[in-house]
Amino acid sequence: MNDPRPPGEASGFRPYHEYRRLDPEQMADAARAVCERLNRRRSVRAFSSEAVPRAVIESCLLAASSAPSGANQQPWQFVAISDPQVKSQIRKAAEAEEQRFYGDRASQAWLDDLAPLGTDAHKPFLEDAPWLIAIFSEKWHFEQGDEKKKHYYVTESVGIATGMLIAALHEAGLATLTHTPSPMGFLREVLGRGAQERPFLLLVVGYPEPEVQVPDIARKTLPQIATFI
Ligand code: IYR
């Protein structure tokens, strides 16, 4: 399924034998079903500490890494963290940033917009959840020695891969929280990542706490989000 050749080495073309065409009825059913499933996804902020097998995380990361990317450079790196000590370091550093954010960095308008979500600087889920996935975007890579090769459409590519990761984890029956402690530079230090990597976001992954509550908020309707011409 996965081509073992590094990107760039694949050459030429081959038939697209993976494609599966559905007839119109199956297609409509499939589209409705995926819409229904994805609409069950909610960000949660209280996680059970129940373990999630590493193999599940591995499959979801490979699903994410099937995302399209600029010049097929696949400019993403995922750090999957289950080590309690590393999670604790991340929680401490994230809470320090969040205290500054909620204390004086965020504008009143931003805090007002966040009020319905009930968030604050307290982030116990960073230690409770069995997995944190730190997503890094690679702005460039070293090619032959020390020559820097620039990547294209990095934010778009990593954003797409992250969306696919969230969908894959959800389909696997897991809950996620898309967490963006800001600034996130501490992730590079705590995780010892290279200068070419920039923290993109931190995904919290696991089972929701059994009695978890979610904000009673709605999704936009089709006319609010789409225009057909
Ligand atoms: N990073 C902060 C604040 C925050 C910002 C947005 I935009 C959100 O949608 C949610 C939270 C935090 O994680 O609390």
Q: Quick: pLDDT tens for 189-208.
A: 999 999 899 999 999 999 99
* pLDDT on residue 8: 54
Please name every residue paired with 80 in a beta bridge, in sequence order, or none if there are none. Answer: 133
Ligand 1: which atom is nearest the Cα of residue 182?
1
* pLDDT on residue 7: 60
Tokens of 174: 């897991």
By alpha-carbon position, which residue is closest to atom 6 of ligand 1?
Answer: 114
* pLDDT on residue 34: 98
Residue 2: which pLDDT band, with cuts at 50, 70 and 90?
Answer: low
213 lines ligand 1 (CB under 6 A): no
Q: What is the whole-number distance in angstroms between the Cα of residue 97 and the centre of ligand 1?
A: 11
* pLDDT on residue 145: 79
Q: Quick: pLDDT tens for 83-121.
A: 999 999 999 999 999 999 999 999 999 999 999 999 999
Quick one: average pLDDT of 35-61?
A: 98
